Amino acid sequence: MKVSFTLNSETRWLECQPNQTLLHALREQLGVKSPKCGCERGDCGTCTILLDGKSIKSCLVLACEVEGCEITTLEGLMQSGLTPLQKAFLDQNAFQCGFCAPGMVIAATELLEHNSSPNRGEIEEALAGNLCRCTGYAPIIDAVLDLVDNGGK
Amino acid sequence: MTITHQFDYIKAKSVAHACKLLSKKGDHRLLSGGTDLIGHIKENLATPDSLIDLKGIDALKHLSVTPSTIKIGALCTFSDLLNSKEMAKYFPAVQEMAQTVASVAVRNRATVVGNICSAVPSLDSAPLLLTYDAVVCVVSSKGVRKVPINQWFISSRQSAIRKGELVCAIEIKMPAQKHGATFVKLGRYRGEDLAQASVAVVALPRDRYRIAFGAVAPTPFRADQLEKLLNGKQLTDNLVGQAVTLIPSLVSPITDIRATKEYRTHMCQVMFERAVETAVARLR
Ligand code: FES
Ligand code: FES
């Protein structure tokens, strides 16, 4: 079936089977590689994208469900270079392998949109569905806090 | 994990259209958030002939509020509960519960109606819905029926829904009087964990209580015997102590990868005590 939607502010369409997940469609058919394929069962968060402005796990969504929707991935967020959040992660050396980074960036971006000065607890809560195997989370949370302390710049 | 099972995907245009599709021969499943269903299909635990997507049906969207009831539409997500001013005003404990459900990205997608339709013993929304005497509104091509939530959960993973039926909403009566409520959930970590045990307590004026447990029996349930014991009596340490000793005979938890039955039973007692305390404090 044919599905069309807005992907990172461009109108795109694809031909897919009903059983194709959005994660696979993005990565394999549309060449959008920032959402990663981790657990594929909704547990790890590395496939997180924004669907109509809200974070969702793209491994638990079918491609055919997004007809007419608006999808944003990291590629879309950083159309004019790294965002202040990404810079903060970079400056703080917040990640090691970086596999969890796409989900963390999306989740933290969504949080900061609703709450420009979250405290540590709120950041933890917002990032909770994203697993990181390398860092122990502290540098990731610290980087977001730092950004907040610096007024989001 | 690629989905190997093949199925048709149909976007329903209206509730009537969805009912018609549902009544056809075969295994047809309703799709809203899909956070459970897609996972089940991946693991071949569900092998439907078709998925009927409800997301295009405006009539099922969002929360509607009248002076007498609050209606949670079939497409209302846990995030919608958290964003609702009416929920914050009348049912803050429901928001407290929604906040414990998985993670933001799941709450943005998973629906409350989908949660009760899964009918798993550990479902987070059940204990509070039980204490609020919620009503499940079900439609089919034959008409509408309303099922009180305490008759909804039949056994583990089995609800009172019949073939060809669709849950269009959950209704909760607006509280007639001031009340204090709380939901306490025991999980191993924040993020994706299922409840090992959960308890909801609603405290009403004049020493009346409503209590329900989740994840510690084949279905979530109202603890009638505890309510009977507490109702109409002044809450003393002694009375709470009596209630706590009664709990092991009311719950029947299992031992699994997440916790042992002894631990769950013990925690039910601890959590009940704390929940009563919180609910009563909130009533004041
Ligand atoms: S790949 Fe989607 S949550 Fe892990
Ligand atoms: S940095 Fe490696 S998983 Fe997070």
Ligand 2 atom 4: residue of nearest CA: A132
Residue-wise pLDDT tens digits, B52-75: 999 999 999 979 999 999 999 999
Q: Is B222 part of any domain?
A: yes
Instruction: Name the token pair of B140.
Output: 């089919």
Whether residue A79 is contained in a domain is answered as no
Helices A138-149 and A101-114, axial angle in degrees (round to 10): 30
The structure tokens 């009566």 sit at B173
Is residue B3 a part of any domain in this protein?
A: no
Whichever domain contains A33, its CATH number is 3.10.20.30
- Can you give the pLDDT at residue B191? 59
pLDDT of residue B1: 75
Task: Establish if B27 belongs to a structural domain.
Answer: yes
Indicate if A89 and A69 belong to the same structural domain.
Answer: no
> What values do phi and psi take at A92, rounded to 5?
-85, 0
Q: Where is the domain boundary, A74, A108, A131?
A: A74
Best residue among A96, A127, A130 to mutate for probing ligand 2, ranked by most atoms within 8 Å of CB: A96
Alpha helices, H only, A59-137: 74-77, 84-91, 101-114, 120-127
In this prediction, residue B122 carries a pLDDT of 87
Q: Considering A41, A56, A74, which residue would you say is the last residue of a domain?
A: A74
Determine the atom of ligand 2 nearest the C-alpha atom of A95: 1
Question: Scanning every residue of chain B, which has its alpha carbon at the shortest distance from the alpha carbon of A63?
Answer: B9
Q: Give the DSSP letter of residue A140.
A: H
Same domain, A68 and A108: no
B118 contacts in chain A (CB < 8 Å): none
CB contact under 8 A, B1 and A107: no
| CATH number for position B67 | 3.30.465.10
Q: Please indicate if any CB of chain B lies within 8 Å of the CB of A27.
A: no
**What is residue B60's predicted lDDT score, i.e. its pLDDT?**
96
Residue B26 in domain: yes
- Confidence at residue B5, expressed as pLDDT on a 0 to 100 scale: 96
Same domain, B84 and B159: yes
Task: Compute the mean pLDDT over every residue in chain A, rounded to the nearest whole number.
Answer: 96
Same domain, residue pair B104 and B159: yes
Same domain, B160 and B188: no
Q: Which residues are near ligand 2 (CB < 6 Å)? A: A 95-100, 132-135
Domain identity same for A94 and A42: no
**Same domain for A48 and A27:** yes
| A138 inside domain | yes
Q: Are B166 and B190 in the same domain?
A: no
- Number of domain units in chain B: 3
| Residues B156, B99 share a domain | yes
Question: Which of A15, A48, A74 corresponds to the end of one domain?
Answer: A74
**Residue A70 at interface with chain B, using a CB cutoff of 8 Å:** no
Q: Are residues A10 and A67 in the same domain?
A: yes
The answer to whether residue B1 sits within a structural domain is no
Q: Which residues contact A72 (CB under 8 A, 6 or more apart)?
A: A8, A49, A50, A53
Asked if residue A61 and residue A122 are part of one domain, the reply reads no
- Cβ contact B38–A21 (<8 Å): yes
- Determine the residue of chain B that is closest to A106 in CA distance: B105
Whether residue A93 sits in one domain with residue A50? no
Ligand 2 centroid from CA A19, angstroms? 29
Question: How many domains, in total, are found in chain A?
Answer: 2
Distance between alpha carbon B203 and the CA centroid of its chain, in Å?
19
What is the A140 CA–ligand 2 centroid distance (Å)?
Answer: 10
Among the three residues B142, B158, B173, which one is the final residue of a domain in this structure?
Answer: B173
Query: How far does the CA of residue B195 sit from the closest CA of chain A (Å)?
Result: 15
Please tell me whether residues A51 and A99 are part of one structural domain. no
- Residue B2 inside a domain? The answer is no
Minimal CA–CA distance to A139: which of A84, A83, A101, A82? A101
Question: With contacts defined as CB-CB under 8 Å, which chain A residues touch B9?
Answer: 1, 18, 62, 64-65
Clarify whether residues B37 and B74 are in a common domain. no
The tens digit of pLDDT for each residue in A63-98 reads 999 999 999 999 999 999 999 999 999 999 999 999
Segments forming the whole domain that contains residue B25: 8-53
| Contact between B201 and B209 (Cβ < 8 Å) | yes
Q: Quick check: A128 and B39 CB within 8 A?
A: no
Query: Is A94 part of any domain?
Result: yes
Cβ distance A55 to B108 less than 8 Å, yes or no, reads: yes
CA distance B116 to chain A (A): 19
Look at residue A150 in the predicted model and tell me its pLDDT: 87
Let me know if residue A135 belongs to a domain: yes
Same domain? For B28 and B117 the reply is no
Does residue B80 sit in the same domain as residue B136? Answer: yes
CA distance A139 to A144: 9
Per-residue pLDDT reduced to its tens digit, B265-281: 999 999 999 999 999 99
CB contacts, 8 Å: A21 with chain B: 2-3, 38
Which range of residues forms the domain containing residue A7? 2-74
A20 contacts B31? CB cut-off 8 A? no
Put simply, the chain B residues between 132 and 191 with a CB less than 8 A from any chain A CB are 190-191
Substitution target from A2, A19, A144 for chain B, most B beta carbons within 10 A: A19
Q: Do A60 and B109 touch (CB under 8 A)?
A: yes
Whether residue B196 is found in the same domain as residue B106: no
> Are residues B148 and B71 located together in one domain of the fold?
yes
Q: What is the CATH number of the domain that holds B33?
A: 3.30.43.10
Return the pLDDT at B190. 65
Please answer yes or no on whether B192 and A43 come within 8 Å at the CB atom: yes
- In this structure, the answer to whether residues A9 and A61 fall within a common structural domain is yes
User: A64 and A6 share a domain?
Assistant: yes
Report the CATH number at residue B223. Answer: 3.30.390.50
Please state, in angstroms and rounded to a whole number, the distance separating the CA atoms of residues B251 and B198: 11
The CATH number that applies at residue A114 is 1.10.150.120
- Ligand 1 — pocket residues by CB below 6 A? A 37-40, 42-47, 57, 59
pLDDT tens by residue, chain B, 284 residues? 789 999 999 999 999 999 999 999 999 999 999 999 999 999 999 999 999 999 999 999 979 999 999 999 999 999 999 999 999 999 999 999 999 999 999 999 999 999 999 988 889 999 999 999 999 999 999 999 999 999 999 999 999 999 999 999 999 999 888 999 999 998 876 656 678 899 999 999 999 999 999 999 999 999 999 999 999 999 999 999 999 999 999 999 988 888 899 999 999 999 999 999 999 999 98
Q: For residue B251, give both structure tokens.
A: 């719950």
Contact state of A41 with B1 under an 8 Å Cβ cutoff: yes
Is the domain of B209 the same as that of B157? Answer: no
Could you tell me which residues are beta bridge partners of residue A72? Answer: A50
pLDDT digits (tens, 9 = 90+) for A12-44: 999 999 999 999 999 999 999 999 999 999 999
Judge if A47 and A90 occupy the same domain.
no
Helical segments of chain B, H only: 15-22, 37-42, 78-83, 85-90, 92-98, 104-107, 112-118, 126-131, 224-230, 237-250, 261-283
